[in-house]
Amino acid sequence: MFEVGIPGERPPAVVDSDRQTTHAEHPVRLKKLSERLLPAKMRQRLMLTSFAMVALPILLLGIILQHEGREALLNEKQDKLFTLARVLDSELGPGFDALLADLPSGWQNRQAAIAHLNAKLAPITDKIAASDPGVGCGYYSRRLDAIITYGPSKDYGGTVGRTISADHPGRDVMAVGKPSVETGPLVRGSIMNAMLPIIRDGEVIGYSWANEFTDAIERQEQTVDRTVFAITLGGILLAGLVIHSMSKRLSREVDVVVGGLAGLKNDLRKPIRPLRGELGEIVDAVNIMARALLDARTLTENILTSIADGVVAVDLEGRITAFNPAAEVMYGVPADEVMGRSYRQLFADHMHVASALLDTLDTGHTHIGVALELPRTDAVWRLTATSSVLHDGEDRRIGAVVVLKDVSERDRLMVQVMRADRLAALGELTASIAHEIRNPLTSIRGFIQYLGDGGEPEEWSRYSKIIIQEVDVLNETISKLLAFGRLRPPQMTSVDVAELINDVSFLANGPASVQIDLQIDEDLPKIDADAEALKQALLNLLINALQAIADDGTVVVTARRHGDDAIRIEVRDDGVGVAPNHLNKVFDPFFSTKPSGTGLGLAMVHRIIDAHHGVISFDSRVDFGTVVTIELPIVAPLPEETA
């Protein structure tokens, strides 16, 4: 039984009570099923795919040939039977009336008319039936409503005189006057019967027929089927042999590629054997990439071998994957003894060295220039460690690497350079002190020598004042030098920088032609500082700025917050400026571009700012002015944080 639904409506879905299957699951199921059914090897897949692509068209062609062969056979049978029926029609001549003309009773005596017509027409039907064994043919008279002949007469003569049934297709042929072919059980059994109406003078007087047993036709159809089947099977087998041969050849070439790739995995110097066609192009491309990879690897190995820095790389499990010769020297162990082993376990005694690499491996944090010490039997090596994460071509983490730089010699040279710089600075300081002291001493010596040779009392009174002034100059120079050399630690308190700058600007007392412009942020925070020392430093800067302006000018003092944990103070003037060759000496003791300057003012400022853990910078251009910038922390670091 078929269920008929309303057009346009979908039939109700069948839902499993235990599990509902969605449409999205079917492609996944089909994919998994196909993966299970398809063979794993490429050759087998290729053979199966090629066989399906070739066999299906051949099989489809065989089906079409079989169908067309049957149709052609049936059409040929129908054409043959209609040809025989037409021969019967032509042999009948003018018709039954002419054949009954010499019968005295004519149509009146039905039996006599049937017998008379049979006697004249039976030889014709027997002859036609004999020309094609298995064929039956004859005439039917509509007026007599009887079979006139049925050849071969020896087999079917007994049917003469019979009347066909009311539903016999021959009655339709005589009724409509058109030929017809019927297959099925008729007078002599299951036959294919071609019936042709006999028309004389526009009137259907009967019909002629020719028929053949359907079992004979079926045997011929089976012969056609066997022939088509043999051809189809032969084509499929031939295609299978060709596919097998071609896949075997292709499989050998693929095996060459697979084997070559396996060989390249172990030795990039062994190229894959050249092949022809598209696989050959693939092989050439793989060989080119292998050579490029070999060159890159060789270059990397040469670089790692040549550089003086130690390089150690580990994978995600902490196993050593790279250990260059410099690292061998630093750790005192050959690379072949550590490759593939756990870095953490091998160098547990050097965890201060390993910590940078392992921390990067564990957390992904990068370390740059971490100072380390590596104890050795002969000495202690001073190193800097720089570690970073290793990524592959798809930016996935694959490990970590550390570069160890031996800075022992550099530090030794730096100590020597710093010692030389200190000695040079000490020499310059000694020379400056000697110069500052020599001039007053020379004056004092000259006056005393003069007075010792017998000067007058008036002269003693006048020159003693000069001697005292020179002694005061010496005392002031020594006092400033002592203050510079014995700078006391800053006494930290909470200082309002805005208020301090206002006080300093009031104390500066510059010329009336010079203006002091204060630009201070309203939300400037208080800082930890020594108020008196910081006031002294700012006062020195303001006095220097005012003295650098010859005529009209402006000194701008700005103070603003710098980041979250510092403030920035800037003193800018539009004075004469400092020559470029003097910029690197402005903070040196006893260096001054002013004729009467001691050269200790900016040096003292630098010492005060440095004691506050601040930074001071000096920038100047001749005839354009000078900018001094100070950065101070809002909260003073604790003593242990500055160690």
What is the fold, at CATH topology level, of the domain defined by 307-406?
Beta-Lactamase (3.30.450)
Q: Which two tokens stand for residue 125?
A: 């039907």
Paired tokens of 223: 């012969």
How many CA atoms are closer than 13 Å to the CA of 95, on its beta-carbon side? 15
Asked if pLDDT for residue 254 goes beyond 60, the answer is yes
CA 635 and chain centroid, separation: 48
Nearest CA among 143, 68, 71 for reference residue 100: 143
The per-residue pLDDT of the chain, averaged, comes to 77
Phi, psi (degrees; rounded to nearest 5) at 266: -95, -30
In terms of Cα–Cα distance, which of 167, 164, 156 is closest to 206? Answer: 164
Half-sphere exposure of 79 (CA within 13 A, CB side): 6
Residue 51 and residue 240 in contact, taking contact as beta carbons nearer than 8 Å: yes
Q: For residues 92 and 432, what is the distance between their CA atoms, to the nearest angstrom?
A: 157
pLDDT score recorded for residue 604 = 81
CB atoms within 10 A of CB 263: 15
Residue 637 has pLDDT above 50, yes or no: yes
What pLDDT band is residue 461 in, cutting at 50, 70 and 90? low
Pair type for strands 566-573 and 367-375: unpaired
The CA distances from residue 326 to 28, 336, 339, 526, in Å, are 55, 14, 15, 52
| Assigned token pair, 576 | 């004469």
Contacts of 498 (CB under 8 A, 6+ apart): 520, 524, 559
Contact 428, 599 (CB under 8 A): no
pLDDT at residue number 540: 86
Domain ranges of the chain: 38-266, 272-306, 307-406, 413-485, 493-642
- Superfamily per CATH, domain 38-266: PAS domain (3.30.450.20)
* Residue with the two structure tokens 């309203």: 522
Say if CB 224 and CB 191 are below 8 A apart: no
Over the range 371-410, which residues count as b (16 or more CB within 10 Å of their CB) and which as e?
Answer: ebebeeeeeebbbbbbbbebeeeeeeeebbbbbbbbbeee
Which amino acid would we find at residue 28? Answer: V
pLDDT digits (tens, 9 = 90+) for 202-234: 999 999 999 988 776 677 767 777 787 788 787
What's at 159, amino acid-wise? T
Was domain 413-485 assigned CATH 3.20.20.140? no
Confidence (pLDDT) at 123: 93
Q: Is the peptide bond preceding residue 152 cis, with omega within 30 degrees of 0?
A: yes
CA nearest to 149, candidates 119, 127, 170, 175: 119
Apex 369 CA angle, 365 and 373, nearest 5: 110
Q: Does the pLDDT of residue 477 top 60, yes or no?
A: yes
Edge-to-edge, what's the strand order for the sheet holding 553-562? 514-520, 553-562, 566-573, 625-633, 615-621
Residues 317, 342: Cα–Cα separation, whole Å: 8
At residue 513, does pLDDT exceed 80? no
38-266 matches 307-406 in fold? yes
Which pLDDT score, from 0 to 100, does residue 430 have?
61
Q: In the prediction, which pLDDT does 14 show?
A: 43
pLDDT at 334: 87
Q: What is the pLDDT of residues 72-91, one digit of tens each?
A: 778 888 898 999 999 999 99
Residue 501 corresponds to which amino acid? I
Q: Work out the average pLDDT over 510-528.
A: 84
In terms of average pLDDT, the best of 14-23, 265-274, 614-623 is: 614-623
What's the predicted TM-score (pTM) here? Answer: 0.36
* Record: fold of 493-642: Heat Shock Protein 90 (3.30.565)
pLDDT at residue number 7 = 35
The confidence score (pLDDT) of residue 6 equals: 32
Structure tokens at 328: 């061998």
The model's pLDDT over 108-138, given as tens digits with 9 standing for 90+, comes to: 999 999 999 999 999 999 999 888 888 999 9
The 10s digit of each residue's pLDDT in 542-590 is 888 888 887 788 899 999 999 889 999 999 998 888 888 877 778 777 6
- The CA distance from 598 to 433, in Å, is 10
Q: What pLDDT score was predicted for residue 147?
A: 94
Cα–Cα nearest to 372, from 399, 407, 337: 407
Alpha-helical (H) ranges within 132-168 are 153-156
Pure H helices in 92-149 = 96-99, 110-131
Q: What local confidence, expressed as pLDDT, does residue 200 receive?
A: 92
Dihedral sign from CA coordinates of 417, 423, 426, 432: negative
Q: For residue range 483-512, list pLDDT tens digits in order.
A: 555 556 788 899 999 999 988 888 776 666
How far CA 581 is from CA of 578, 593, 620, in Å, comes to 8, 12, 11
With residue 377 as reference, give the H or E element that holds it: none
Specify the amino acid at residue 170: G
Q: Is the pLDDT of residue 65 over 80?
A: no
- The 10s digit of each residue's pLDDT in 161-210 is 999 999 889 999 999 999 999 887 766 667 888 999 999 999 999 999 99
Question: What's the pLDDT score for residue 71?
Answer: 81
Q: What is the pLDDT of residues 306-345, one digit of tens each?
A: 777 888 888 988 888 888 888 888 777 888 888 888 887 7
The per-residue pLDDT for 17 is 43
- Residue 279 pLDDT > 70: no
pLDDT digits (tens, 9 = 90+) for 438-455: 667 766 766 676 666 666
∠ CA 555-561-567, nearest 5°, is: 75
DSSP secondary structure string for all residues of 515-571: EEEEEE-TTPPPEEE-HHHHHHHHHHHHHHHHHT--SSEEEEEEEEEETTTEEEEEE
Which of 244, 185, 182 lies closest to 207 in space, CA to CA? 182
Q: Which residues of 530-569 are buried (b: 16+ CB within 10 A; e: fewer)?
A: bbebbbbbbbbbbbbbbbbbeeebebbbbbeeeeeebbbb
Beta bridge partners of 147: 140
